[in-house]
Each structure stands twice: as structure tokens, then as C-alpha cells.
């Protein structure tokens, strides 16, 4: 069984991002970039399925500029067998990525596509769902447990009221939630091994996909600054202020 794992290169989750002074976006010059954390969980899950003997090949895919090769090498150091870079300098929005992935699904015919539930840069939470719709595949989003048996996959999902378990027929699309697993540390020997693994590059045109953005960002702004706090002498004053000034109780 082949598993396709899309991995996005995003600003590292530890970086405190700054909005550009002209309000056109976030400043990503000279900031640390890493694999989207939910995608690390997706690669880890695929590797665990391979270790259990369920999967035979894991293909990591990243769409973006040449630097996404680093993200693919990380995926291969975790355990992906090969990588595909869909290279473009165009700004990629979820629909464009979903179309690129659909073309790769047709080409590679994976039984499972495991994506992150969302990319932590744009917080779109759309690509997996759009891919499932475009490729006409069953989908299970926000997975916290994945079990494959024969031609079915059972997925436990985190929903508002608790946990929901659904059964999908393969091939299928899954998106990962935080509690699915804890990704392993990447070891130096595995980083060295990953350098030798196959990494192919294709262009969106090769896949017949027009990736032009369909959405226009009008403005990006910082959240309003928090005002300074105050100290109150006693509980009675606190309750009075919460009631009459903040009007929250
Ligand atoms: P999003 O819909 O943008 O929140 O992204 C959801 C998931 O889609 C991510 O966790 C990745 O698995 C995948 N994805 C989004 N953008 C890309 C990209 N440029 N390259 C590879 N995978 C991506």
C-alpha cells in the first residue's frame, strides 16, 4: 500500500511573526522555517503503518519554492521513501495545492493520503477536504486514531461532543489532529540516509494545473495591543469592577 503525505514548509511554530509595515502580509524574511507540525504527525503515522507492515511505500510531496526540498528531506529522515517537489514561486492557496495533489493522486494511485488538518501559517484547514472532493475520495478529518484492515480504514475523530469513529473504504483522505501520535526525533544517521533518497521535481504545468491565486489578501494587521492591568485592593472591588466596569458578570 502506497501512502502520499503532503508536507508544507511554514514559519516555525516558535517564531513570533511580525506583520509587514505596509500591511500586505507577514514578514518571513530571515525567519526559521520548518515542516508544518500536523504534517510531521502525518509522516509519523505513515511511517508507523509501514513499520506495522501495512504500508509499503511512503511518498512525501511539497508544493512551493526550491527550499521545500529541505522539508522533503526532513520527511525522508523521519522515514518517507521518496519525495516529490512541485516547484513554483507563485503564492499557493489551498485550492491550487488540492488540484496539484489530485494530479499526483491520479499519477501515483496511493491507497491513503494523509495530510495535516491545517497549516499553521494561513490556518486554512481546507486542502484535505478540497482534495477529497476533487478526487472523489472518502475523507476523515481531525484523526486521533487510524487503523487499517484489508480494504478499509477506521478513523477516530475528535468532534465537539467527544470521539467519533468512522469506517472508510480505501483509497481515502485523512487529516491529522494533534493527538494522533508524537513524532519521533530525527536522528543524524537518518538525516544522512535521507540525503540519498530519491527526490523528483515537477512543475505545476507538468501536472496541467493553473495555480494562479483565486483569493486576494486585502490587509493583514496586528491584533489590538492589550492595555495594562491594574491591582485591586480586595475581592469586593474586583467583583464591583467586573460587574460595573467590565460588565462581564
Ligand atoms: P491548509 O488547508 O492550508 O490548512 O493545509 C492543510 C494541509 O494541506 C497541510 O497540513 C498539508 O498537509 C497540506 N498542504 C497545504 N499546503 C501545502 C503545500 N504547499 N505543500 C504540501 N502540502 C500542503
Chain segment 187-196, per-residue pLDDT in tens: 999 999 999 9
Query: For the chain, what is the mean pLDDT?
Result: 96
Which pLDDT value is given to residue 223? 86
The full 3-state SS of 190-211, as one line of letters, equals HHHHHCCCEEEEECHHHHCCCC
- Is the Cβ–Cβ distance between 231 and 117 less than 8 Å? no
Whether 38 lines ligand 1, by a CB cut-off of 6 Å, is yes
Res. 45: pLDDT tops 90: yes
**Beta strand 198-202 pairing with 82-87:** parallel
Confidence of residue 129 (pLDDT cuts 50, 70, 90): very high
Residue 249 inside a domain? The answer is: no
Domain that holds residue 46: 2-244
pLDDT of 158 above 90: no
How far is Cα 97 from Cα 23, in angstroms, rounded to an integer?
A: 25
Among 96, 127, 128, 175, residue to substitute to test ligand 1 (most atoms within 8 Å of Cβ): 127
What is the band of 224 on the pLDDT scale with cuts at 50, 70, 90?
confident
Give residue 227's pLDDT. Answer: 86
What is the mean pLDDT of the segment spanning 231-237? 96
C-alpha closest to that of 11 among 127, 120, 124 = 120
Q: How far is the CA of 238 from the centre of ligand 1 (A)?
A: 46
Q: What pTM, to 2 d.p., does this model score? A: 0.92
196 CA distance to ligand 1 middle (Å): 25
Q: How far is the CA of 228 from the centre of ligand 1 (A)?
A: 38
Report how many domains make up the chain. Answer: 1
Helix (H, G, I), strand (E, B) or coil at 227: coil
What CATH number is given to the structural domain containing 104? 3.40.50.620
119 in ligand 1 pocket by Cβ < 6 Å? yes
Measured in Å, residue 248 CA sits from the centre of ligand 1 at 39
Residue 243 C-alpha from the chain's centroid = 43
For 81-127, the pLDDT digits (tens) are: 999 999 999 999 999 999 999 999 999 999 999 999 999 999 999 99
170 contact partners, CB below 8 Å, separation of at least 6: 1, 111, 112, 148, 151, 152, 153
Q: Measured from the CB, is residue 94 less than 6 Å from ligand 1?
A: yes
41 lines ligand 1 (CB under 6 A): no
The neighbour count for residue 142, using CB atoms within 10 Å, is 22
Does ligand 1 lie within 6 Å of residue 90's CB atom? Answer: no
Round to whole Å and give the CA distance between 40 and 184: 9
Strand partners, 3: 58, 112
Distances (CA, A) of 222 to 14, 23, 226: 17, 9, 11
Is pLDDT at 41 greater than 90 in this prediction? yes
CB 37 less than 6 A from any atom of ligand 1: no
Cα angle 99, 87, 119; round to 5:
60
CA separation for the pair 236, 153 (Å, rounded): 57
Tell me how far CA of residue 149 lies from CA of 106, 143, 170, in angstroms: 23, 16, 10
Radius of gyration of the chain (CA): 21
Q: Judge whether residue 150 has pLDDT over 90.
A: no
For 12, counting Cβ atoms within 10 Å of its Cβ (0-12 exposed, 13-18 middle, 19+ buried), the class is middle
- Residue 50: all three cell numbers together: 509501514
Average pLDDT over every residue of 12-26: 92
What average pLDDT does range 29-43 have in this prediction?
Answer: 96
Place of cell 481546507: 126
pLDDT given for residue 10 in this prediction: 97
* Alpha carbon of 84 to ligand 1 centroid (Å): 14
Amino acid at each position: 500500500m502506497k501512502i502520499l503525505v503532503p508536507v508544507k514548509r511554514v514559519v516555525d511554530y516558535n517564531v513570533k511573526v511580525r506583520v509587514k509595515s505596509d500591511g500586505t502580509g507577514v514578514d518571513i524574511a530571515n525567519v526559521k522555517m520548518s515542516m508544518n507540525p500536523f504534517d510531521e504527525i502525518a509522516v509519523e503515522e505513515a511511517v508507523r503503518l509501514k513499520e506495522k507492515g501495512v504500508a509499503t511505500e511512503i511518498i512525501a510531496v511539497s508544493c512551493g519554492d526550491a527550499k521545500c526540498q529541505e522539508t522533503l528531506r526532513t520527511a525522508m529522515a523521519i522515514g518517507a521513501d521518496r519525495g516529490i517537489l512541485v516547484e513554483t514561486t507563485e503564492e499557493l492557496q489551498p485550492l491550487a495545492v488540492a488540484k496539484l495533489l489530485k494530479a499526483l493522486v491520479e499519477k501515483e494511485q496511493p491507497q491513503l493520503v494523509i495530510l495535516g488538518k491545517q497549516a499553521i501559517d494561513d490556518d486554512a484547514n481546507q486542502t484535505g477536504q478540497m482534495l477529497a472532493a476533487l478526487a472523489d475520495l472518502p475523507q476523515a478529518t481531525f484523526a486521533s486514531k487510524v487503523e487499517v484492515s484489508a480494504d478499509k480504514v477506521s478513523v477516530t475523530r475528535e468532534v465537539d461532543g467527544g470521539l467519533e469513529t468512522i469506517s472508510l473504504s480505501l483509497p481515502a483522505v485523512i487529516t491529522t489532529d494533534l493527538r494522533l501520535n508524537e513524532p519521533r526525533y530525527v536522528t543524524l544517521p537518518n538525516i544522512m540516509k535521507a540525503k540519498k533518497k530519491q527526490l523528483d521535481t515537477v512543475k505545476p504545468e507538468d501536472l496541467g494545473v493553473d495555480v494562479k491565486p483565486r483569493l486576494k489578501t486585502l490587509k493583514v494587521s496586528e491584533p489590538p495591543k492589550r492595555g495594562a492591568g491594574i491591582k485591586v485592593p480586595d475581592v469586593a472591588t474586583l467583583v464591583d469592577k467586573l460587574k460595573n466596569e467590565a460588565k462581564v458578570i
